[in-house]
Structure 1
Amino acid sequence: MQMKRHIYDCQSGCPVESTLQIIAGKWKSVIIYHLMAGTERFNDLQKQMPDCSRRMLALQLHELQVDGVIQKRVYPVVPVKTEYSLTDFGQTLRPVITAMETWGDRYNKRALSNMVTSQLEEG
């Protein structure tokens, strides 16, 4: 499968921009995060991301597949069974997504603490 994206050259080949080109978008990192736990079916991914439309989920999955991050397996049964999983290349994003999870947890705890502090000061 050939990748359709080009290599970005910001300030002599900025690797951060190249990474963001692959995982950018509201749902791509979330999809990768869920697939780090193992293979998932389309409907299971959709249940885990209820704010993501079916169309957007399909588009984001397709782009990740084109970029070689995930693989799609279609079983010839009725109704069609489709499963998604990380490729070996996609597995290399594990530390990136894990770092995002860690930072997000810290941010959420800080935001919650600030909200509680503000409420106490007001009350």
Structure 2
Amino acid sequence: ILYRFIQQSNWHFGELNASVSPCPTRMLARQLAQLCADGLIQKHTLTTQPLVTTYHLTAEGMALKPIILAIAKWEGYSV
């Protein structure tokens, strides 16, 4: 999930869910909540109609970028 945030800074839940498929929606929601609690990503909800929720990396999350990219390269992802 953090690798996706390195690739694109802001995500809507549906976009992120589609990009990490076949991850179950409930599991993704729990992972995002944990990453928010850990201070690695931040959730923003706009009170528009309909509600719009986006997620983005925090400074702490961005500090992990070199490590995440190194792991992605080791795993064979296009970095």
Q: Could you tell me the TM-score, scaled by structure 1's length?
A: 0.59
What is residue 15 of structure 2 aligned with on the other side? 44
What is residue 64 of structure 1 aligned with on the other side? 35
User: In structure 2, the residue corresponding to 1:78 is in which secondary structure?
Assistant: coil
Query: Which of 88, 92, 97 is residue 68 of structure 2 equivalent to?
Result: 97
1:80: Cα distance to partner? 1.4
1:93: Cα distance to partner? 0.7
Moved over 4 A (4+): none
What is residue 35 of structure 1 aligned with on the other side? 5
Percentage of identical aligned residues: 37
1:79: Cα distance to partner? 2.0
RMSD value, Cα = 1.2
What is residue 44 of structure 2 aligned with on the other side? 73
Q: Distance in 2 between matches of 1:50 and 1:105?
A: 19
Q: Distance in 2 between matches of 1:103 and 1:92?
A: 19
Aligned residue identity for 2:69: T
Structure with the largest fraction of strand: 2
Q: Distance in 2 between matches of 1:84 and 1:74?
A: 9
The answer for unaligned runs of 5 or more in structure 2 is none
User: In structure 1, the residue corresponding to 2:45 is in which secondary structure?
Assistant: strand
What is residue 59 of structure 2 aligned with on the other side? 88
Aligned residue identity for 1:40: W
Deviation string 1:13-47 (CA, Å, 9 cap, x unpaired) is: xxxxxxxxxxxxxxxxxx11111121111000001
Q: Could you tell me the TM-score, scaled by structure 2's length?
A: 0.91
Q: Distance in 1 between matches of 2:50 and 2:18?
A: 18
> What count of residue pairs does the alignment treat as equivalent?
76
What is residue 26 of structure 2 aligned with on the other side? 55
1:77: Cα distance to partner? 1.6
